[in-house]
């Protein structure tokens, strides 16, 4: 929505050079293709505008009913137009009263009369306006009244010819009528001729015995031409402007490249060649990036890894640890009996030490990976490895280690560290591996 607002303002600024005062729209007639939207109007009544826009259902044409609109407009003043519209469609009208349910499409006809308050006059290329009025509708022998409120955009495409875009929200006045939106696009053309403007009489001709000299033939006489030997522009007193930057070549230090007067016709410089010009670059002599206003991506902890890639930007670390310092705490794997996820007393002692360290070092996370030996089915081993990892995780969180710092995964019997053919090797494989990281 913000982008659309900025676009409208930009178009208004661009077109502002064509303004005239006291311009009223002539009697004009046109037609529009319209879409009537009942579901989005109901969504707006139930939810906020931000939520309706976020759900992106409002722009689905499948939710809308097509219609054809005829319209008439006439200017009441340079900033106020009267507009009337007649819209027809075949649709299933959702009456608000349950006793008037419609089971199939019926012809729907509505008419309204509106006042359009224009922010600019019709001599501008783009004219935004606000709209309010009163309307009536009829379908299935039922008459209804409603109030249309809306906004629109009028685009001048020729002499008294306009493209008209309009969106309105219709508020019901009578009980059967329902809330709805109508979006329209169409053309509007004058049906009467514009009165010609009175033109002043031309001045009396003067008799010139001999035309003034214009040696370079550029339309600027030599007596006024600062560059009499080279054809140029009248706005630059007869001098050429090769790069079309409004600075005459004789005063332009970069005549082949468009620039600005502040730099004597040259572009704004970019000393460090990083694509950010010096006027916007806060690090003129050091190449950087636009999102940091021409400065390099910062490295807060000075560990050689920039903050965008550093998972610990406030702590100096190494590239092996993604910019984080290593964790100086060692612990053995937690081992389990065959087919069991119960933690042994030895394992609990290890986890008591680990939980104390984690509670003292709140920036450290623990990664728990559950494993099994090759005994049993793959399905049972997958479930058992997950149970072991979650058993250790539950023990740690029971020691006040927060859940967001305990990450679990299970690998079943796919990553043995011992020989599954021996009882000693299988005992080593029935484990939960513990790894500590700061990211």
Domains of the chain: 20-190 (2.40.160.20), 334-437 (3.30.1330.60)
User: 321 or 432, which is more confident?
Assistant: 432
* Percentage of the chain exceeding pLDDT 70: 91
Each residue's pLDDT tens digit, 253-297: 899 999 999 899 999 998 989 899 988 988 989 898 898 888 999
Q: Is pLDDT above 60 for 120? A: yes
Query: What average pLDDT does this structure show over 364-376?
Result: 96
Each residue's pLDDT tens digit, 143-156: 999 999 999 999 99
User: Residue 366 in contact with residue 390, Cβ under 8 Å?
Assistant: no
User: 61 or 194, which is more confident?
Assistant: 61
Each residue's pLDDT tens digit, 64-105: 889 999 999 999 999 999 999 999 999 988 888 766 556 788
pLDDT of the residue at 7: 46
Q: Is pLDDT above 70 for 337? A: yes
pLDDT band at 4 (very low <50, low <70, confident <90, very high): very low
pLDDT of the residue at 197: 60
Q: Output the six-digit token pair for 338.
A: 């065959």
pLDDT band at 339 (very low <50, low <70, confident <90, very high): very high
pTM of the entire predicted model: 0.42
Computed over every residue of the chain, the mean pLDDT equals 88
Query: What average pLDDT does this structure show over 163-187?
Result: 92
pLDDT of the residue at 5: 45
User: Residue 409 in contact with residue 389, Cβ under 8 Å?
Assistant: yes
User: Residue 394 in contact with residue 386, Cβ under 8 Å?
Assistant: no
pLDDT of the residue at 225: 85
pLDDT band at 21 (very low <50, low <70, confident <90, very high): low
pLDDT band at 195 (very low <50, low <70, confident <90, very high): low
Query: What average pLDDT does this structure show over 14-30?
Result: 66
pLDDT of the residue at 434: 97
- Winning range, highest mean pLDDT, from 18-22, 115-119, 315-319: 115-119
pLDDT of the residue at 162: 92
Q: Is pLDDT above 90 for 338? A: yes
d(CA 137, CA 133): 14
Q: Output the six-digit token pair for 62.
A: 């499948």
Each residue's pLDDT tens digit, 214-238: 888 888 888 898 899 889 899 888 8
Each residue's pLDDT tens digit, 351-360: 999 999 999 9
pLDDT of the residue at 141: 87
pLDDT of the residue at 137: 93
Phi-psi region of 210 (alpha: psi -120 to 50; beta: other; left: phi over 0): beta
pLDDT band at 13 (very low <50, low <70, confident <90, very high): very low
Q: Could you tell me which residues come within 8 angstroms of residue 195 by beta carbon, excluding any fewer than 6 positions away?
A: none
Q: How many CB atoms lie within 10 A of CB 149?
A: 13
d(CA 313, CA 323): 7
User: Residue 428 in contact with residue 335, Cβ under 8 Å?
Assistant: yes
pLDDT of the residue at 132: 94
């Amino acid at each position: 929505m913000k982008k659309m607002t900025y676009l409208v303002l930009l178009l208004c600024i661009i077109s502002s050079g064509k303004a005239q005062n006291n311009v009223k729209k002539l009697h004009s007639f046109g037609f529009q293709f319209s879409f009537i939207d009942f579901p989005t109007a109901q969504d707006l009544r139930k939810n906020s505008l931000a939520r309706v826009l976020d759900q992106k259902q409002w722009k689905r044409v499948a939710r809308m009913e097509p219609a054809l609109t005829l319209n008439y407009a006439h200017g009441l003043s340079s900033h106020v137009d009267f507009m009337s519209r007649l819209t027809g469609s075949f649709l299933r009208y959702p009456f608000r009263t349950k006793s008037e349910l419609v089971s199939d499409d019926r012809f729907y006809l509505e008419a309204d009369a509106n006042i359009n308050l224009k922010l600019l006059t019709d001599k501008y290329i783009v004219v935004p306006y606000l709209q309010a009025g009163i309307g009536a509708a009829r379908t299935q022998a039922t008459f209804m009244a409603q109030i249309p409120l809306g906004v629109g955009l009028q685009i001048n495409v020729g002499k008294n010819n306009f493209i008209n875009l309009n969106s309105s929200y219709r508020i019901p006045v009578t009980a059967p009528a329902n809330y709805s939106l109508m979006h329209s696009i169409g053309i509007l053309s004058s049906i009467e001729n514009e009165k010609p403007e009175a033109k002043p009489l031309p001045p009396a001709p003067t008799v010139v015995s001999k035309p003034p000299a214009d040696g370079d033939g550029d339309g600027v006489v030599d007596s006024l031409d600062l560059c009499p030997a080279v054809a140029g522009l009248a706005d630059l007193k007869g001098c050429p402007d090769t790069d079309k930057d409004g600075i005459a070549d004789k005063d332009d230090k970069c005549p082949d490249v468009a620039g600005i007067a502040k730099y004597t016709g040259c572009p704004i410089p970019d000393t460090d060649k990083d694509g950010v010009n010096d006027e916007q670059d806060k690090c003129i002599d050091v190449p950087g990036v636009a999102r940091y206003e021409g400065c390099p991506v910062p490295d807060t902890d000075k560990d050689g890894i920039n903050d965008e890639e550093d998972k610990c930007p406030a702590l100096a670390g190494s590239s092996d640890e993604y910019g984080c310092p290593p964790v100086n705490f060692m612990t053995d794997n937690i081992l389990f009996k065959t087919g069991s996820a119960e933690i042994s007393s030895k394992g609990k002692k290890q986890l008591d030490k680990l939980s104390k360290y984690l509670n003292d070092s709140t920036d450290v996370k623990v990664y728990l990976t559950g494993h099994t030996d090759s005994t049993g089915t793959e399905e049972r081993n997958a479930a058992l490895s997950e149970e072991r990892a979650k058993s250790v995780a539950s023990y740690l969180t029971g020691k006040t280690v927060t859940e967001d710092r305990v990450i679990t995964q299970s690998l079943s019997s796919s990553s043995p560290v011992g020989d599954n053919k021996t009882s000693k090797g299988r005992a080593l494989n029935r484990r939960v591996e513990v790894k500590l990281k700061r990211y």
